[in-house]
Amino acid sequence: MGIRLYKTTGASIRAATRLLGVHLRLTGLERLPDRPVLFVVNHFTRFETFLVPYVIYRRFDVPVRTLATHSLFGGWFGRYLEALGVLSTRAPDRNRTIIHELMTGRAHWVIYPEGGLIKNKKTVARGRLRLERADRSGPPHTGAAVLALKAELRKRRYLDACARGDETRRAWYEQHYGFAGPDDVSPKGTVVIPVNVTYPRMRSGPNMMHTAARVITRTLDPRLDEELRVEGSLLFGSSEVSVHFGDPIVVGDYLDRASGLARRMAGWMSEERRTDLFLLRQARRLTQASMRSIYHSTEINLDHLFCYGLRALRLEIVPVRQFHRALFLVAMELRHRGHLRLHPALRNGIVALATGEPYANLDTVERLAIAEGVIRREGDCYVIDREQLHEEHDFHDIRLSKMVQVIANELEPIEEAVEVVRRVVNLDENALGRSLSRSIRDDDEHVFRHEHRRGVDRLAATAEEIGAPFFLEHRNPRAGIVVAHGYLSTPEQIRPLAEHLHARGFSVYGVRLDGHGTTPEHLDEVTWQGWMDSLTHAYEAVRHHSGTVIVGGFSLGGVLAALLAARCGVAVDGLFTINAPMKLRNPWAPLVPVVLRLDRLVHRLRRRTEAPSRSVRNDSESPDINYDTDYLWGIRELRRAIRACRRGLPDVTAPSLVMQCDDDPVVDPRSASILHDRLGSETRLVVRMPGARHLIVRGDRSAHVFDRVDAFVERICLPAADRASREAGVAVGFHEEPGAA
């Protein structure tokens, strides 16, 4: 093996992935042990033959060898593979070489037990592992497991012979495998590590790689043409590749029974024959365990849910919004199962599926299904073409003509995910709404508990009962109200207002904005879109609980509530904001982005491994419920949320109430005028209140604020005719409120 060539190839792969915009997401690297390892990997593209050994080499700094089909070992490319240490499947002494290197630990090995590319991703049949390939149909090959078992068993026997002074057996092993003595053998046991490679966006079509090949030769072999169309599309254009290393499987655990039986049969047959006979069952068990680990480690993404959801639907016509909401509910339920691997997009931002907002990931898979004739849109419904959905295709053609089937097949081995999809996509609209409302609330609670535990591990956290979201429920509410707290605070900040409204017959959801209610450090990780996701989750939970939905908030919560009302349009029945900042009083706030950019520049120049972060002390009116530390990153996201809200205000159509303190020490009082002038609502009321406090939703005179909100909500809940008469003459304008807040 040429180590210099090996390193050069690794550097080329690293440069190519950066040049092509391929984002490698590596997980499970912490599981890789310092002992002889046989890696078993699923196989969908030729690229994996180079990628997986490269990733392993970066982790271990130990050579990684792999097998490749004998057809590749011709000409200059074959010589290149041999120089890299790649072994032909038809190489003489192939098995002896692999066993020797696993026994000594001089190199790790990568083997693909599927025996070739599984282009259709079809790996299960009737609940059992069964591969469907062009040349064979059956279970995965047990060869990799046999090699791992033989390496471990023979190492044990050799060391045992050395320890007992059995010179005959010792000499046989040393001659057969080229050992100079027991020091040549690794004292550590062999492990098998399952590796899953997932491509979150599987598409096919013309691409740079395919075009270049067509320029070089006008008549491409059909199979090569197919591979270039598919694999070129996977690698070009900001693609992602997820590589996950599963839990190590200790080979020795599978040897106990086989080793004892083999000893009792000693003398009846040759060493090779005894080993082959008694390792057969253990090899099947080890293969089943490793392959199930590979397939269960698939990173589930929206494409999987969409494509398998189409397969699982019992109806041939389904409303588009209902199907999308069902996929959102599936994602929520899968998030609660911590052992499943989910694409990051299923954990953040997917709430757009429920609200009907544009969502690029959804649009691309929908276009794929339409292009392949699996579905068509008629009005607001999907019409499923069952014949196209289940049409059989040639193994080498399916990735070009029916990628929807391939994507659905990839999810099939993950039984619990499949069960959730089948159940949820076939719920009727009412049952789906009830399940959505309950699941969103459970998910918000689950996310908070997880983040709070993470915060407790890092430093002193906000009290759990203060930071948690809450839902004050009525069985038959007059309306549902979503209320969001302010920046640096917790849901406890707006609990008094929520309890006031709940006492008057409304169901109220107290939102916890992302990064709040746990530890201040979390503000160094948040985004304003994450805050919007938090509020949108709550809105969806309440919308499926009550026919009338009103959104509101204090300070930052008011900014986000206005932005939500802009996005949801007529689906929001009312909006109220309390001291919502369209402008901040702090004169240094506009300089925050500049400081952060300078920090990043210094960070790069000094080549530091840890990202820079800056914090400032926060002197709060309510230190019992607010963070005492603020982060510049959080301030930057606050300003971004304000800018997004300003842009969206003309799209607000719901009746609106804007409340603002004249001498607010945090928010520039001109914020009320900005809201009034830019809101698109036909009915909007601005209430100015004297006072020098920002936190007017707690403490003295807060009841006066609650009464104003209560009167506004009551007016929205009036029958349409009564509401019109009440609003006549006060549809637009300012209202000067007497009395101090």
DSSP track, 481-517: EEEE--TT--GGGGHHHHHHHHTTT-EEEEE--TT-S
pLDDT, greater one: 5 or 611? 5
Please give the distance of CA 245 from its chain centroid, rounded to a whole number. 16
Same-domain pairing of 282 and 312: no
Q: What one-character DSSP code corresponds to residue 737?
A: -
Same-domain pairing of 361 and 273: no
Asked whether residue 16 is domain-assigned, the answer is no
The whole-angstrom separation of Cα 543 and Cα 549 is 6
Among 39-53, 250-264, 710-724, top mean pLDDT goes to 39-53
State both tokens at 424.
């949820």
Same-domain pairing of 584 and 694: yes
State both tokens at 69.
């089909």
Same-domain pairing of 231 and 84: no
Q: Is 687 helix (H, G, I), strand (E, B) or coil?
A: strand
Candidates 65, 35, 339; CA nearest to 191 is: 35
| pLDDT tops 50 at residue 677 | yes
Strand pairing category for 108-111 and 128-129: unpaired
Asked whether residue 18 is domain-assigned, the answer is no
Asked whether residue 211 is domain-assigned, the answer is yes
In this prediction, residues 412-425 reach a mean pLDDT of 97
Same-domain pairing of 193 and 213: no
Residue 733's pLDDT band, with cuts at 50, 70 and 90, is very low
Same-domain pairing of 140 and 188: yes
CB 3: neighbour CB atoms within 10 A? 10
Candidates 270, 260, 299, 231; CA nearest to 47 is: 231
Total tally of structural domains belonging to the chain: 4
CATH of the domain at 501: 3.40.50.1820
Backbone φ and ψ of 495, nearest 5°: -65, -40
Same-domain pairing of 476 and 600: yes
Give the residue from 276, 296, 316 where a domain finishes: 296
Q: Are the C-beta atoms of 33 and 60 separated by less than 8 Å?
A: no
Give the residue from 254, 278, 296 where a domain finishes: 296
Same-domain pairing of 531 and 638: yes
In this prediction, residue 738 carries a pLDDT of: 38
Residue 382's pLDDT band, with cuts at 50, 70 and 90, is very high
The whole-angstrom separation of Cα 678 and Cα 656 is 12
Asked whether residue 433 is domain-assigned, the answer is no
Asked whether residue 14 is domain-assigned, the answer is no
DSSP track, 425-462: HT--HHHHHHHHHHHHHHHHHHHHHHHHHHHHHHS---
Asked whether residue 446 is domain-assigned, the answer is no
Same-domain pairing of 255 and 404: no
Backbone φ and ψ of 250, nearest 5°: -75, 115
The model carries a pTM of 0.85
Residue 243's pLDDT band, with cuts at 50, 70 and 90, is very high
Q: Is 123 helix (H, G, I), strand (E, B) or coil?
A: coil
Q: Are the C-beta atoms of 493 and 697 separated by less than 8 Å?
A: yes
**What is the four-CA torsion angle of 75, 80, 82, 85, rounded to 10 degrees?**
-160
Same-domain pairing of 331 and 364: yes
| pLDDT tops 50 at residue 125 | yes
In this prediction, residue 148 carries a pLDDT of: 93
User: 90-94, 406-410, 731-735: lowest mean pLDDT where?
Assistant: 731-735
Residue 730's pLDDT band, with cuts at 50, 70 and 90, is very low
Candidates 531, 568, 586; CA nearest to 553 is: 531
Lookup result for tokens 């000499």: 171
Residue 594's pLDDT band, with cuts at 50, 70 and 90, is low
Asked whether residue 25 is domain-assigned, the answer is no
Q: Look over the chain and give the mean of its residue pLDDT values, rounded to a whole number.
A: 85
In this prediction, residue 585 carries a pLDDT of: 82
Same-domain pairing of 707 and 584: yes
Asked whether residue 614 is domain-assigned, the answer is yes
Amino acid letter, residue 392: E
Task: Find the angle CA(465)-CA(468)-CA(472) to the nearest 5 degrees.
Answer: 95
Structural domain for 97, as ranges: 3-7+39-199+245-296
Question: Which residues sit opposite 262 in a β-bridge?
Answer: none
In this prediction, residues 29-50 reach a mean pLDDT of 87
In this prediction, residue 524 carries a pLDDT of: 84
CB 83: neighbour CB atoms within 10 A? 14
Same-domain pairing of 549 and 680: yes
